[in-house]
Amino acid sequence: MTETVTDDVFARACRYGVMPVIAIEDAAHAIPLADALAEGGIPVAEVTFRTRAAADAMAKMAAERPDFLVGAGTVLDLDSLAAARQSGARFGLAPGFDPAIVDGAMASGWAFAPGIMTPSELSAAVRRGVKLCKFFPAGTAGGPKALAGISAPFAHLGMRFIPTGGVTVDNLGEWLKMDVIAAVGGTWIAKTDDIREGRWADITRNAKAAVEAVKRVRP
């Protein structure tokens, strides 16, 4: 099995139990951000296509920090899928389920986790052989109890999830107690304002706090 296989890449990306979700406005901040996260014990990030700098930021991280596992978030169309791969992103996630993007990622052997919020969307993902999904927006959709109910009929298939949206350092333990959770997505670790202002020490501190919170649930 090579690292281009979805299961292997996501096993690495999710091993820390928490995945920083990033909206970066200036690619010049990519390397100090990666260093701050790695120093805090989380050398992985989902860089979202919510800003124009996303592709350039991913490319800098991939080229200059090869040990840092950079992924693409908010992959909403095939152009974003292509841009993510060309930028060196090792995996991708989306807030929703688009069969064309899932098929495109699978055809190229690129690790991709679509988003789901309903049993119908989860059924569509299962039909395409997906094993890992983002659960979004996790808080608005009903939290851990909602995902427990949605995922129960699929438990025998080994489906796993990355809940994102409304997850914080204070409630991540509620999610990580669930066997179906691979990791949680967190926007609080490296907020856009902190990145913009270069508050790297704060980001490192947030990452360390998240790592400690994960260890309390998954020693």
The Cα–Cα gap between 94 and 56 comes to 19
Bridge partners, residue 162, by sequence = 134
Does residue 3 carry a catalytic annotation? no
Phi/psi at 142 (nearest 5 deg)?
Answer: 120, 5
| Rg of the chain over all Cα atoms, to the nearest angstrom | 16
Does residue 174 carry a catalytic annotation? no
- Among the options 134, 177, 208, 212, which is catalytic? 134
DSSP letters of 27-71? Answer: GGGHHHHHHHHHHTT--EEEEETTSTTHHHHHHHHHHH-TTSEEE
- Among the options 46, 121, 191, 208, which is catalytic? 46
Tell me the catalytic residues: 46, 134
